[in-house]
Amino acid sequence: MVFSEPKTPRSRRSIALDPATVAALKTHKAQQGEERILLGLGKARGDDQVFATAEGNPIQPQSVSQAFERLVKSAGVPRIRFHDLRHTYATLALASGMKPWDLSDRLGHSSVAFTLDVYRHALLSDQQDASDAAAAFILGERNIQ
């Protein structure tokens, strides 16, 4: 593996995490620390990866993909690639009401237009709701929220 600088300045970003994700990451970090101590490796280095071998080395990408494929198969769900989780997240985020510009920032896209081009399908199902809401507002039956 080769580590390098991100492709664009937008690629280096911070994103907000929900409390459940933060708790899961803290639990994972604690478990990693316990594992290192049990293996006699001492405390983690400051540059350890979030998901790493017990020694703190990066996990090979193909190992992650293979483990994911095994999980998908054992769960009996339709086969998808590990990278497809990103697309699933983006689609569900838009469908749940996340604003396209917020999703674009989270994904590190170069523009909101790109995000909308890729994930427009997630918004199409809202066409009837959007039409009904606009008509209700125009007819004075509903206020802007």
Q: Which residues contact residue 87 at a Cβ distance below 8 angstroms, ignoring those fewer than 6 apart?
A: 119
Q: What is the mean pLDDT of residues 29-51?
A: 80
Mapping DSSP to helix (H, G, I), strand (E, B) and coil, where does residue 58 land? strand
Average pLDDT over residues 106-133: 82
**What mean pLDDT comes out for the span 73-81?**
91
Of 26, 25, 54, the residue nearest 39 (C-alpha): 54
The CA distance from 72 to 25, in Å, is 22
Helix (H, G, I), strand (E, B) or coil at 7: coil
Secondary structure class of 17 (helix, strand, coil) = coil
Which comes out higher in pLDDT, residue 86 or 48? 86
pLDDT at 68: 94
Q: Which residue has the higher pLDDT, 34 or 54?
A: 34
Query: What pTM was computed for the model?
Result: 0.71
pLDDT of 89 higher than 70:
yes
Work out the pLDDT band at 34, boundaries 50, 70, 90: confident
In this predicted structure, the answer to whether residue 47 has a pLDDT above a threshold of 70 is no
21-35, 65-79, 128-142: which range is least confident on average? 128-142
Give the alpha-carbon dihedral of 126, 16, 111, 7, to 10 degrees.
Answer: -140
User: Which residues touch 79 (CB under 8 Å, ≥6 apart)?
Assistant: 69, 72, 73
Q: Is 52 helix (H, G, I), strand (E, B) or coil?
A: strand
CA distances from 65 to 32, 69, 72, 76, 83 (A): 21, 6, 10, 17, 9
Q: Is residue 43 scored above 80 in pLDDT?
A: no
